[in-house]
Amino acid sequence: MAPLEDWVRERNRFYDPGFVSKDPGFHHAHITVLAPLHEWNLGAISAIAQRTPPFDIVLNEVDVFRNGIIHLIPTPGAPLRELTRQVWAAHPSVVPNGAPSPTPHLTLDAVSTTVDLASTRRAIAALLPAHHHVFEMQLVWYESGNCHEMHRWRLGGHETMSP
């Protein structure tokens, strides 16, 4: 997601500088698998990561959720939807942000009086398509002034990494 990292970080800074993390392991441009997780089953997430092989995605399609969140849709979607399904099954009490069911996506911006789907498409056109090799999952904490990586798992391996 490197091509999108600077762009997403600057959009975070625009809305609330507190959401720009100083944690070097924190990725502002990331695919959300499931949120919000207020309690987590680290053993279940580790097992999911171990049995999921790394895979490649392309981010090129910009869309907007009903709640106004402008996002990129990863393709192929099946590997991330399967990760989401498994993580949600391990955390059935989660009520996904802005959707009746969790949808893997990369958040770009939010609709406002000055931002819409068309303006966002124009703003990131030079960064797309973005190709990415998905090889890990992270558990991150989002809070203004306290955004940080909490845990990281390598996909398809037996290695659990912590920050």
Please, what is the Cα angle at 114 between 111 and 115, to 5 degrees? 35
Structure tokens given for 84: 């989401």
CA 160 to chain centre: 19
3-state helix vs strand vs coil in the chain, percent to 5: 30, 25, 40
pTM for the structure as a whole: 0.89
pLDDT band at 120 (very low <50, low <70, confident <90, very high): very high
Distance CA 1, CA 163 (A): 19
pLDDT in tens, 77-104: 999 999 999 999 999 888 776 566 678 8
Q: Does 3 or 119 have the greater pLDDT score?
A: 119
pLDDT of residue 25: 85
Higher pLDDT among residues 61 and 159, named by residue: 61
Contact 160, 22 (CB under 8 A): no
Q: What is the mean predicted confidence (pLDDT) over 1-18?
A: 91
> 22-75 pLDDT, tens per residue?
998 899 999 988 888 888 899 999 999 999 999 999 999 999 998 899 999 999
The yes-or-no verdict on residue 163 having pLDDT over 60 is no
Mean pLDDT over 97-117 rounds to 86
